[in-house]
Amino acid sequence: IVFMFYETEQPGLTNDHLVYHGDALAKSYTLWKKQKAASCRFRYLERGSPERWAATPMGLAPSQPNIELINTECYGGPKDFDKFPIYGKHAFGIIAELFSPKSRGTVTLRNADPTAIPVVDCNYLSDPLDAEVLAEACRFANEIITEGA
């Protein structure tokens, strides 16, 4: 997963004002607790979400590396992404995800002690095709943002 964020001066293009400006987060949270509405709602986790099919939406087999681009309507990410756009600033992101990578990691026992932490080797992007596909996904996503679809 690669997070790419962009700043914009165009008000209303993002939802940062619903989360980061003033006391917006507290208001959104209160609205969520009372009505299950507001910016805290994530519709994809509701009951009745569509089942997952064996093939991707493009008809690719699970063994074929492919990408998905996901846009965010406000700034966000892991907890170390803490430079929030406040005081009239706006940011949004696009996330490039690599699905069905060729690279494979391993998990092995450290020793005979069942309480010992296992040895994990993620081996991310060790297959050259994975690195190439993800790099192209990032290039394509940037092109969409900077030049339009």
pLDDT for the residue numbered 48:
52
Q: Among 34-38, 119-123, 134-138, whose mean pLDDT is lowest?
A: 34-38
Give the Cα separation of 145 and 147 in Å (integer).
6
Residue 114 has pLDDT above 60, yes or no: yes
Residue with tokens 């619903």: 18
Quick check: pTM over 0.85? no
Question: In the chain, what are the domain boundaries?
Answer: 2-147
Q: What is the pLDDT of residues 53-109, one digit of tens each?
A: 455 555 666 666 688 888 877 666 666 666 766 666 777 888 999 988 999 999 999
CATH code, residues 2-147: 3.30.560.10
Give the Cα separation of 134 and 139 in Å (integer).
9
